[in-house]
Chains A and B, each alone.
Chain A
Amino acid sequence: MSRASLAVACGAVLRRDLTLAWRRRGDIAMPVLYALIVATLFPFALGPEDALLQRIAGGIVLVTVLLAMLLALDAMFRSDIEDGSLEQLVLAPQPLALMLGMKILAHWLTTALPLIVIAPMLAGMLHLPVPVMGVLMLALLLATPMLGLLGAVLVALTAGTRRSGMLLALMLLPLCVPVVIFAAGAVAAAQQGLPWIAPIAWLGAALALALVLAPLACAAALRIALDA
């Protein structure tokens, strides 16, 4: 297997997943709508005072994006398992981890990227100060791939089960605690005028680690879950 064929295979998987997502454009809008609805509900529940909303805006946007991603996570491998194409991918000569990495990238592009695009709007609705917006975007850019990678491992583990929605949330919570802490920590620090580079650097380091390890773990998990 030459280097070129590997690149071709990666490209093919990516193109296939993006095409499938594009054919069902309505599904891409769902997490975005969900995030919009959740963020709208907070001012109703907490009252419209600027000071309060400003203080919690960063955290709300982060948690909302996390929940919206969790909602979409369940569907990451669902249709591929149902039509059997995931099993073909497992049997393919190309390394499974790399192929799954491409699938995770496609999933991130179709669910997390739209969320990141509307995040400034959500933050603006909650009166997050404009200078902090950049830090929030940076934190989201690092935190969402982390969640996608970690979530993919867990989705792969539950691939052989029937009901996995609540279970996925229960399993993801312990894994996403550090991500939320550092991402929200950076936003809070920026809001108080403190240096925010340290938590962002931690997030980046964790992302670098997850980029390498998570696809491998995802492949191992999928082999366990499909091995019936």
Chain B
Amino acid sequence: MSKWIPLWLHKLGSPPIFYRFAGTLRPWFLALALVAGAIGLYGGLVLAPADYQQGDAYRIIFIHVPSAWMGLFIYGVMGVASFIALVWRIKLAEAVAMESAPIGAAFTFITLVTGSLWGKPMWGTWWTWDARLTSELVLLFLYLGVIGLYHAFEDRRQGARAAAFLAIIGIINVPIVHFSVNWWNTLHQGSTVRILGPSKISASMLWPLLTMMVATKLYYVASLFGRVRTDLLELEGGKDWVRRIATGQSTGERT
């Protein structure tokens, strides 16, 4: 089992090593995210044909759908990191979980705003009490609850642990909310992009969508690395390696 795990992987759990690792990789992720985003947006906004029914208005999906995926994906990452943080008490996992929350909240907010902009011409209303819209809103509240709880504690690590526990409760709650609001009321269209089986979307629209998905993922990693680096500096304030960076004595490291 442990044979195929590279020997250096566990070292990334150490704050100074992760700090350097993330610092080196972050510009690459950011650059790749910008390139993929530019290609995806060009493909989606210029190259892809207009929809026969919705005209050009459908093009908002190139922002809306990747953001919605990211909203859920980041919640998943936050849940896994929270679990690791609670079980093994790894400082880095706490930082990853807590710094994921604002990014996830931002993506969820973008999803809600773009969906609302699209809903006005298509459904004739900014907001409707539909199942998917409601679960997305509840997801946003879950994120805000985690962020709020984290900042309510004086002690940051204790706050991180409490908020991590809340994130895990939320993970159990998301499917329940989704199921219950579906039972309650639904108007939103079903999924058109499938992992299993053929997608119900034209290839000329699918590739920009997938490129945008890659771009948002890369952006998330870049943003997360930046935030976690700052967080680690703050958490480890009194340690030697931080002092060396602060006084500019760090060897072979440009920050």
Contacts and interface: CB of A to CB of B under 8 A. Distances in A.
Interface of A: 153-154, 157-158, 160-164, 167, 170-171, 173-175, 177-178, 181-182, 185, 217, 220-221, 224-225, 227-228
Interface hub of B141, B144, B149 (most chain A Cβ within 10 A): B149
A177 B158 contact: no
Interface string B162-198: 1001100110010011011101100000000000000
B144 A170 contact: yes
A179 to B, nearest CB: 9
B155 interface: yes
Interface string B134-172: 100011011011001100110100100110011001100
Contact of B141 (A173, A225, A228): A173
A167 B139 CA distance: 16
30 contacts: A154-B166, A157-B149, A157-B162, A157-B166, A160-B155, A160-B158, A160-B162, A163-B152, A164-B152, A167-B148, A170-B141, A170-B145, A171-B145, A171-B149, A174-B138, A174-B139, A174-B141, A174-B170, A175-B173, A177-B177, A177-B181, A178-B177, A181-B180, A181-B184, A185-B183, A185-B184, A217-B165, A217-B169, A221-B165, A224-B162
B177 A157 contact: no
A160 B134 CA distance: 31
Interface string B117-128: 000000000000
Interface string B58-98: 00000000000000000000000000001000000000000
Nearest to A154: B166
Given A171-B145, A178-B179, 12 more contacts: A158-B149, A158-B162, A160-B158, A167-B152, A171-B148, A173-B138, A173-B141, A174-B139, A174-B141, A177-B180, A224-B161, A225-B162
Contacts of A154: 166
A228 B155 contact: yes
A167 B149 CA distance: 7
Contacts, number: 76
A173 B162 CA distance: 18
Contacts of A160: 153, 155, 158, 162
Decide if the interface of chain A is mainly helix, strand, loop or mixed. helix
Contacts of B138: 173-174, 177
Contacts of B179: 178
A157 B180 contact: no
Contacts of A164: 152
Nearest to A220: B165
A218 to B, nearest CB: 11
Contacts of A161: 149, 152-153
Contacts of A158: 149, 152, 162
A178 B158 contact: no
A186 to B, nearest CB: 12
Nearest to A225: B162
Nearest to A178: B180
Nearest to A198: B183
Contacts of A224: 86, 158, 161-162, 165
